[in-house]
């Protein structure tokens, strides 16, 4: 572990990579070396040097309302997705979302002089910035294209690897069509209120996942299929759901004012133990899964107390709702704080929904590292291809979840 206090770019970059390694990413020597070689600060010249190498996103463009439109992603997430992509020397690579150009530089380093990297972004201001950063750092061979990323870049297809660095709600046909058989697609895919970086392998008429990791990304323009509605008159609590779900917000208005039922799972976690796998499991088995968000006023008043106020899984059916929560239950064997996972239900079948959510928690507890395999078919795939597994219908793709 690098322990120097030197604030030079080289020392800060070494510390960044050490941090990435300690988090379990940059698993190959090639990815580690690329991260050590490419100067991230040169791609975010407006940022302070320390910020350029901190484990945080560097926002490079915002909308009028302050929302992030483009950024240099969190370094640990960059490394995680490069691990998933598994670039080999000589690969032809397509990147959707040019950002600052930093990720394209890493890709070019990994594929080497016999490969080729194309990066696409719909925003000409973003592509101009990426082009400038790539040129000044010696990556002039990376091709930067201003175009709709959902259409890919057909002139340079087929690609051995496609990586998407913006949040996607769907898998456009062009990505599948331009990916070589056996090739890998890594995409931050959003469904049922959460985003996961999914690594797919192109297998004949389908894409099959072999890695699913929690992440968060600026959403792709024009793909948003998420709906939302406030649950209370003061607009302190918001429910989010996907366009294909049968959720009527009118039926849920005021549901949090109805009798509250708490159900506890007897499953506990330590202070630093992740429990996001519960949400992933829910999306693969519970059609009613959605997302709830409560502001601090709602939490302080007890109106709504999700485990993570800004984003927690919920189940919504008809006039009823249940959401994921936890309570402190003392210390574990190691002396750290412990929390018991559970659910709070409201409405006519709120208790039933809370019980179902707790069943998901208990099932996750049987093997916390288990993750479903996600198979993405074309939206019009014959029903017999889908077997008996639960699936989610999107505009262009049908996500099927297998054990």
Same domain, yes or no, for 135 and 171?
yes
pLDDT of residue 3: 42
Whole-angstrom Cα distance, residue 379 to residue 173?
Answer: 10
- Cα(184)–Cα(110) distance, rounded to whole angstroms? 15
Domain co-membership, 163 together with 246: no
Poorest-pLDDT segment among 40-44, 234-238, 372-376, 385-389: 385-389
Looking up tokens 């709906």 gives: 227
Asked if the structure places residue 371 within a domain, the reply is: no
Is the pLDDT higher at 35 or at 403? 35
Give the list of residues 6+ apart from residue 249 with CB closer than 8 angstroms, or none: 227, 229, 239
Confirm whether 194 is domain-assigned.
yes
The Cα–Cα gap between 187 and 166 comes to 8
Band (334; pLDDT cuts 50, 70, 90): low
d(CA 158, CA 177): 8
**231 and 207 fall within a common domain:** no
Name the 3-class secondary structure at 84.
helix
If asked whether residues 110 and 255 sit together in one domain, one would say no
User: Is 339 inside a domain boundary?
Assistant: yes
- CA dihedral 34→38→41→43, nearest 10 degrees, is -110
φ, ψ (nearest 5 deg) of residue 366:
-65, -30
Identify the domain containing residue 133 by its residue range. Answer: 9-214
Please indicate, yes or no, whether residues 38 and 77 belong to a single structural domain of this protein: yes
Which H helix or E strand runs over 75? helix 75-85
Same domain, 198 and 258: no
User: Is 184 contained in some domain?
Assistant: yes
Give the pLDDT band of residue 216 (cuts 50, 70, 90).
confident
Please state the length of the chain. 403
Same domain, 176 and 261: no
Answer with the one of 214, 235, 253 that is the final residue of a domain: 214
- The reported pLDDT for the residue numbered 221 is 65
| Per-residue pLDDT tens over the stretch 99-153 | 999 999 999 999 999 999 999 999 999 999 999 999 999 999 999 999 999 999 9
The whole-number average pLDDT for the span 16-33 is 96
Catalytic residues: 73
Please report whether residue 403 resides in a domain.
no
Q: Decide if pLDDT at 1 tops 80.
A: no
Question: Does residue 333 surpass a pLDDT of 60?
Answer: no
Same domain, 208 and 146: yes
> In the listed set 181, 214, 247, which residue is the last one of a domain according to the structure?
214
DSSP, residue by residue, 18-31: HHHHHTT---SHHH
Residue 93 has a pLDDT of 98
| pLDDT single digits (tens) 259-318 | 999 999 999 999 888 999 999 999 999 999 999 999 999 999 999 999 999 999 999 999
Number of independent structural domains in the chain: 2
Which of the pair, 369 or 385, is modelled with greater confidence?
369
Q: Is residue 375 part of a domain?
A: no
CA 297, CA 238: separation in Å to the nearest integer? 13
- Judge if 251 and 319 occupy the same domain: yes
Q: What is the pLDDT of residues 155-210, one digit of tens each?
A: 999 999 999 998 899 999 999 999 999 999 999 999 999 999 999 999 988 999 99
C-alpha to C-alpha distance for 74 and 28, rounded to whole angstroms: 19
**In terms of domains, do 68 and 166 share one?**
yes
Q: Is residue 79 part of a domain?
A: yes
Query: How much is the pLDDT for 382?
Result: 76
Residue at a domain's end among 165, 189, 214: 214
Judgement on whether residues 130 and 174 belong to the same structural domain of the protein: yes
What angle separates helix 9-22 from helix 29-37, to the nearest 10 degrees? 150
Q: Any residues with CB less than 8 A from the CB of 357 and at least 6 apart, and which?
A: 263, 282, 286, 313, 315, 322, 323, 324, 343
Position 341 pLDDT exceeds 50: yes
In a domain, 380, yes or no: no
Cβ(345)–Cβ(306) below 8 Å: no
Whether residues 134 and 13 share a domain: the answer is: yes
CATH number reported for the structural domain that contains residue 120 in this entry: 3.40.50.150
What is the distance between the terminal CA atoms of the chain, rounded to a whole angstrom? Answer: 38
- 11 CA to centre of own chain: 30
For residue range 45-73, what is the model confidence (pLDDT) as tens digits? Answer: 989 999 999 998 888 877 777 776 677 78
């Amino acid at each position: 572990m690098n322990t120097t206090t030197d604030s030079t770019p080289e020392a800060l970059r070494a510390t960044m990579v050490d941090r990435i390694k300690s988090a379990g990413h940059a698993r190959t020597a090639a990815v580690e070396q690329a991260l050590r070689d490419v100067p991230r600060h040169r791609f975010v010249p407006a940022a302070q040097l320390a910020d350029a190498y901190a484990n945080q996103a560097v926002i490079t463009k915002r909308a009028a309302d302050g929302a992030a439109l483009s950024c240099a992603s969190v370094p640990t997430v960059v490394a995680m997705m490069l691990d998933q992509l598994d670039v080999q020397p000589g690969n032809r690579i397509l990147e959707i979302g040019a950002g600052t150009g930093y990720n394209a530089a890493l890709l070019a380093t990994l594929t080497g002089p016999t490969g080729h990297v194309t990066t696409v972004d719909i925003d000409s201001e973003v592509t101009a910035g990426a082009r400038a950063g790539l040129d000044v750092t010696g990556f002039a061979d990376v091709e930067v294209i201003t175009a709709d990323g959902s259409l890919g870049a057909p002139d340079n297809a087929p690609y051995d690897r496609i990586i998407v660095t913006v949040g996607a709600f769907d898998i456009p046909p062009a990505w599948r069509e331009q990916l070589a058989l056996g090739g890998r697609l890594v995409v931050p895919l959003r469904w049922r209120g959460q985003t996961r970086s999914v690594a797919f392998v192109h297998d004949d008429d389908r894409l099959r996942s072999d890695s699913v990791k929690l992440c968060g990304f600026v959403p792709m323009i024009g793909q948003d299929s998420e709906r939302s509605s406030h649950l209370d008159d003061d607009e302190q609590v918001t429910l989010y759901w996907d366009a294909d779900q049968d959720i009527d917000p009118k039926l849920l208005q005021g549901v949090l004012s109805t009798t509250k039922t708490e159900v506890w799972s007897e499953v506990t976690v330590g202070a630093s133990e992740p429990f996001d796998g519960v949400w992933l499991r829910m999306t693969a088995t519970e059609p009613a899964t959605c997302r709830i968000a409560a502001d601090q006023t709602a939490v302080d008043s007890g109106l709504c107390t999700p485990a993570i106020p800004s984003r927690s899984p919920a189940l919504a059916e008809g006039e009823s709702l249940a959401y994921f929560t936890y309570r402190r239950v003392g210390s574990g064997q190691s002396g750290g704080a412990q929390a018991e996972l559970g659910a709070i239900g409201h409405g006519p079948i709120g208790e039933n929904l809370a019980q179902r959510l707790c069943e998901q928690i208990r099932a996750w507890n049987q093997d916390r590292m288990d993750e479903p395999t996600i198979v993405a078919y074309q939206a019009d795939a014959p029903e017999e291809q889908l077997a008996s597994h639960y699936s989610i219908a999107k505009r262009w793709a049908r996500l099927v979840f297998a054990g």
